[in-house]
Amino acid sequence: MKRVIPGLERLLADPEKYLRGNTLGLVVNQTSLTSDGCPSITQFRDNDRFSLSALFAPEHGLYGVDQDMAHIADETDPASGLPIKSLYGTDTSSLTPSSDLLNGIDNLVFDIQDVGARYYTFIYTLANCMQTCAESNTRMIVCDRPNPINGVTVEGNSVREDFRSFVGQYPLPNRHGMTVGELAKLFSNQFGIKCDLKVVPMEGWERS
């Protein structure tokens, strides 16, 4: 079986190819790991080539322990000491980071494993982050990961505009067949979110 190298590891190996400057914010959760199980936060924090200044938490929180639809509060990460900014707070405005949260950040790095279904909110967190990056002239880095339900089969209807929500923000089929990197390009090319986008591709993944 061919080894799959996730985008995260390719970014860590060759940051100059993708980053603009060295200051970073991370949009991550418990799935943001290297192949040997090391959290991305640790990798970026402990490497002198990077200046990691902020963490952004999606639904379920930075460590994935919060219940679905439970509001996530801003807090300090006990492991790294870095501030955690919630992207799933008490109102709809919290679903999108404000431009001031990206002050002093050259690159916003998204590395979350998606499941391949329209109603998982992580992909809309990605889209909203891309929108803020477009407004604040911040580079958006998306570390690609496999679609775990084969990336071939596409099933279900798309969401009508009058039924759009944070579990269906764009007209995607229920099983969309794309990776997060491909979705980021779709959000940019099809839905007009024109940020400075860099997708870090995987190596070795094949649709099956």
Count of CB atoms situated within 10 Å of the CB of 10: 18
Task: State residue 182's pLDDT score.
Answer: 99
Task: State residue 1's pLDDT score.
Answer: 62
Q: Give a yes or no: residue 155 inside a domain.
A: no
106-162 pLDDT, tens digit each: 999 999 999 999 999 999 999 999 999 999 999 999 999 999 999 999 999 999 999
Q: 60 with 29: CB under 8 angstroms? A: yes
Q: Give a yes or no: residue 95 inside a domain.
A: yes
Domain containing residue 196: CATH number: 3.40.50.12170
User: Is the pLDDT reported for residue 208 higher than 90?
Assistant: no
Task: State residue 69's pLDDT score.
Answer: 86
| pTM confidence score | 0.96
Q: Give a yes or no: residue 136 inside a domain.
A: yes
Q: 180 with 28: CB under 8 angstroms? A: no
Q: 40 with 33: CB under 8 angstroms? A: yes
Q: Give a yes or no: residue 40 inside a domain.
A: yes
Per-residue pLDDT, averaged over 12-30, amounts to 97
Task: State residue 171's pLDDT score.
Answer: 96
pLDDT band at 189 (very low <50, low <70, confident <90, very high): very high
User: Closest Cα to residue 30, out of 70, 57, 9, 6?
Assistant: 57
Beta strands in the chain (DSSP E): 23-28, 51-57, 75-76, 83-86, 107-111, 139-143, 196-200
Q: Residue 196 belongs to what domain range?
A: 7-150+179-200
Which residue is listed with tokens 């969401």? Answer: 159
Percent pLDDT > 90 in the chain is 97
Q: Give a yes or no: residue 2 inside a domain.
A: no
Instruction: Count up the domains in the chain and report the number.
Output: 1
User: Is the pLDDT reported for residue 200 higher than 70?
Assistant: yes
Give me the residues paired with residue 166 across strands. Answer: none
Q: Give a yes or no: residue 56 inside a domain.
A: yes
Which residue is listed with tokens 């799933």? Answer: 88
Computed over every residue of the chain, the mean pLDDT equals: 96
User: Is the pLDDT reported for residue 40 higher than 90?
Assistant: yes
Q: Are strands 23-28 and 51-57 parallel, antiparallel or unpaired?
A: parallel
One-letter amino acid for residue 161 of the chain: E
Between helix 180-189 and helix 122-136 the angle, nearest 10°, is 50
One-letter amino acid for residue 6 of the chain: P
Q: Give a yes or no: residue 85 inside a domain.
A: yes
Q: Give a yes or no: residue 28 inside a domain.
A: yes
Task: State residue 92's pLDDT score.
Answer: 95
**CA 111 to CA 40: how far, in whole Å?**
8
User: Is the pLDDT reported for residue 163 higher than 80?
Assistant: yes
**CA 90 to CA 81: how far, in whole Å?**
24
Per-residue pLDDT, averaged over 90-100, amounts to 96
pLDDT band at 2 (very low <50, low <70, confident <90, very high): confident
